[in-house]
Amino acid sequence: MTSLLGDLTVAPPAPVRPRPSPAPPRPASPEPSAVPDTEPPADAPGLPPAPDAGPERSRSVIGSRVPRHEDDRLVRGQGKFVDDVDRPRQAHVRIVRSTVAHARLVAVDVAAARAVPGVVFVLTGADLIGLPPIPIRLPRGDEPPGCLQPVLAHDEVRYVGEPVAAVVAEDPYLAEDAAELVTVEYADLPVVVDASTAEPATGFDVSYGDAEAAFATARHVVEIDVSVGRHAAVPMEPRGLVADYDEATGVLEIWGATKVPVFNRNVIATMLDLPASRVHLHAMDAGGGFGARGEFYPEDLLIPWLARRLRRPVKWAEDRAENLVALNHSRQQRHRIAAAFAVDGTLLALRDHVVHDNGAYLRTHGLLVPELTVTMLPGPYRLPAYAARIDVVLTNKTPCGTYRAPGRYEGTFAREHLLDVAADRIGIDRAEVRRRNLLTPEELPHRRDLRALGTDVVLDAGDYPGLFATALARTRDWATEARQLRERGRTVGLGFAVFLEKSGLGPHETADVTVEQDGEVTVHSGGTSLGQGIETVLAQIAAQRLDIDDRAVHVINGDTNLQPFGVGSWASRSTVVGGSAVDLAATAVLERALQVAARVLGVPAEQVRLTGGCFSAIGEPGRRLSWGDVAGACAPGSPHLRPEDTPGLSARRVFAVDHMTYPYGVHVALVDVDRDTGHVEVLRYLVAYEVGRAINPTLVEGQLIGGVAQGLGGALYESFVYDQQGQPQATTFMDYLMPTAEEVPRRVDTLVTEDAPSPGNPLGVKGAGEGGITAVAAATANAVRDALGLTGDVGALPLSPHRVVALSR
């Protein structure tokens, strides 16, 4: 299988593995006053007592609601987004996209476009024959052949929106005019729109235990058939790229990449046959990612290719009509899912047959979403036997990839909806069926006989029934409210869902921490800023370790020259893996600073303490060295620098991790259904989520609240509908309906708990990026089902007015 990842990944420095040292629970107080004692990493012998462990420590940056570092520039309109970059002499690209869903490409006539004054160049697939297709970033190794997307189609188009040609002109308006003059002759081929009518391209089974026997002998077997609609991340900023090739130096500069810039750099370098060190992807602000933005798309090669060919800067700014057919779609699955229960409601086995509609190609995510769907489907439950089959079907629609909580949004909906239907059929309480089957704290860590993303599934730490009970207690009034509203004739329902998330996927992340002589600290991380606030979070982590104000820490993410080993921001990994790398690098800087401070102070290193951001010797509190002083003592020419010392006060560290960490949570929704119009109003919503440790609680809550709004889109409104010819019917925001302020609950309640720190990283953190969205479809559908008093399932999402009216009859 084509994968450039294996070939291209630069060997990282020797990984540093900290000894897992669970941090104690955080104090419940909203104003943290003490820092948990974390043991120093096992690889740091000789490190003096951690300065934050001492009684003198006065404040904690971690756990504090410090203002976001990103905000100032963003509220001033001074963020640096890709379309803000203009280079002298730049040319503008317009992509010509297929207007048909499936056809042989007979001819692409570009003569008229080329003849337009001001058109610089027109590129077609014929110019790129020999260039490999876009590689899979996360290959399993069993991907079928012939499924990868070419950079430009040359013999066949497989979806409306597939790039066919690129027109380069002096002006973007002109490029758009000329692109309309490109005529493409198509010979129609059969169009597959409905995945259930097509042969799967591939598929796989995931199982353990004897599910067949369990189903044969179970007292109760309940099966439902439910679907999730095709929808997508749709970040507010469309994509774009600017590429500039300097012939003299051979350096190719690129603006606009995000999420996984180092991977993308390596792909570009390989495909253009340039040394990776000469390809520089700049750090940028990005207008939201949510899994889709920043993956390697055809345009990510086209624009640099054109810049190099034309020897001038080339710019491409995607418009929204393109974006809605070009950026990864996601989620479209059908689940025929069944559970086997003992007489008392004990879960004996689960089986699922999933049909996954992946659109026209396997893009960079390969089979990741199907894999995550079936490996995460058992969730937080004690499940003796499991058998899942997932068929991956390629259709003539926009290719799919990940979207925030990939596979879990879909699987959590199928499983939690099944549990409600089953509880009603068996005749036990819907909460009780979950209580009986949730894994208890005594059963953790719990190893499942499954592998997800190349790692064993080991549910690390937590109290699932405890959080479920807390969430239900918090929403007890809602049940009363629902009853009262029903008595007044309203069609109101309450729904809940329990879910398991995953976060902190490795294999590693790298961070550099440098202290300058003016006391300013710089962090170069391999994560990327997608709006999640990672600059703030990483600054807090470094500031905590160095005992300084977080405002003194300047974080630069995702610049491939400054951090050439970055793995990127995805899978809720930036705080977990990236943050841990910053913690290790800051710890190494501290260790070095203590040694050098000892030389300056003329005492053994063991006698140096860091308090209030200054170094002093025990018993000599009057003689204090600032971080800037110590950085000065490490500078070239300093008398405190020994010949064997590397000058500067800086450290690069890698945090490597074998296992993911598994946050978990509960969603509760109270909805009011209008039986006549089919409108579903979400009256109240709670997200309870266990994150191990919240570096910045405001940011965690923001992730959860925003996730709910996004999740409601997929549950109630958003759908990429296609007609029978494969023509997309939602290519504007008038047809693709994202929630506005009127469609979201007036208030989303959040309950962020820090009861089960992850044992797998020095910070004890679990990822917080996805738990806000994971169970939205599940809780909302369960609430609608409750409101309408359905005995069966809701069928398919989104629960659009049309569908709700049909269900309510």
Partner 1 sequence: MKDLQLITLTVNGTEHELVVESRRTLADVLRHDLGYTGTHLGCEHGICGACTVLIDGSPARACLTFGVQADGCSISTVEGLASDGELSDLQRAFSERHALQCGFCTPGFLMLAEAYLAEYPNPSTEEVREVVAANLCRCTGYQGIVEAISDVARSRRESR
d(CA 466, CA 225): 31
- Evaluate whether 808 touches 675 at the Cβ level (below 8 Å): yes
| Other beta carbons less than 10 A from residue 677's beta carbon | 10
Instruction: List Cβ neighbours of 572 (8 Å cut-off, separation of 6 or more).
Output: 501, 502, 503, 504, 663, 766, 767, 768, 769, 770
The secondary structure of the chain in percent helix, strand, coil, rounded to multiples of 5, reads: 30, 25, 45
Sheet strands (E) in 82-139: 91-97, 103-109, 119-124
Instruction: List Cβ neighbours of 650 (8 Å cut-off, separation of 6 or more).
Output: 512, 513, 514, 515, 589
Least distance to partner 1, CB of residue 317, Å: 8
Nearest to 257 by CA among 526, 63, 453, 56: 526
Q: Does 87 bind partner 1 (CB under 8 A)?
A: no
Q: Does 180 bind partner 1 (CB under 8 A)?
A: no
Pick the closer one to partner 1 by CB: 449 or 735: 735
Show contacts with partner 1 in window 474-533 (CB under 8 A): 530-533
Q: Does 77 bind partner 1 (CB under 8 A)?
A: yes
Cis peptide bond upstream of 304, omega within 30: no
Q: Which of 37, 56, 71, 456 binds partner 1 (CB under 8 A)?
A: 71
Least distance to partner 1, CB of residue 263, Å: 21
Residues facing residue 687 across a β-bridge:
667, 750
Q: Does 706 bind partner 1 (CB under 8 A)?
A: yes
Show contacts with partner 1 in window 225-244 (CB under 8 A): 234-238
Task: Give the number of residues in contact with partner 1, rule: CB under 8 A.
Answer: 56
Binding mask 734-773 for partner 1 (x = CB under 8 A): x---x-xxx-x-xxx-------------------------
d(CA 802, CA 719): 13
Three-state helix/strand/coil letters over 2-56: CCCHHHHCCCCCCCECCCCCCCCCCCCCCCCCCCCCCCCCCCCCCCCCCHHHCCC
Give the interface segment with partner 1, choosing from 104-112, 484-492, 708-716, 797-805 (CB under 8 A). 708-716
Show contacts with partner 1 in window 124-163 (CB under 8 A): none
Three-state helix/strand/coil letters over 752-766: EECCCCCCCCCCCCC
Least distance to partner 1, CB of residue 696, Å: 10
Q: Does 88 bind partner 1 (CB under 8 A)?
A: no
Give the interface segment with partner 1, choosing from 313-321, 564-572, 591-599, 607-615 (CB under 8 A). 313-321
Q: Does 70 bind partner 1 (CB under 8 A)?
A: yes
Instruction: Kindly give the residue spans of alpha helices, DSSP state H, lying in 430-497.
Output: 430-437, 464-474, 476-487
Pick the closer one to partner 1 by CB: 347 or 744: 744
Give the interface segment with partner 1, choosing from 32-40, 437-445, 511-519, 697-705 (CB under 8 A). 697-705
Pick the closer one to partner 1 by CB: 348 or 670: 670
Give the interface segment with partner 1, choosing from 80-88, 101-109, 452-460, 655-663 (CB under 8 A). 80-88
- Evaluate whether 773 touches 713 at the Cβ level (below 8 Å): no
Show contacts with partner 1 in window 273-292 (CB under 8 A): 285-288, 290
Q: Does 551 bind partner 1 (CB under 8 A)?
A: no
Q: Which of 3, 8, 21, 84 binds partner 1 (CB under 8 A)?
A: 84
Q: Which of 79, 628, 648, 678 binds partner 1 (CB under 8 A)?
A: 79
DSSP 702: H
- The DSSP bridge pattern shows strands 521-525 and 553-557 to be parallel
d(CA 522, CA 509): 17
Least distance to partner 1, CB of residue 732, Å: 6
Would you tell me which residues interact with partner 1 (CB under 8 A)? 67-68, 70-79, 81, 83-84, 86, 173, 234-238, 285-288, 290, 317, 319-321, 530-533, 698-699, 701-702, 705-710, 732-734, 738, 740-742, 744, 746-748
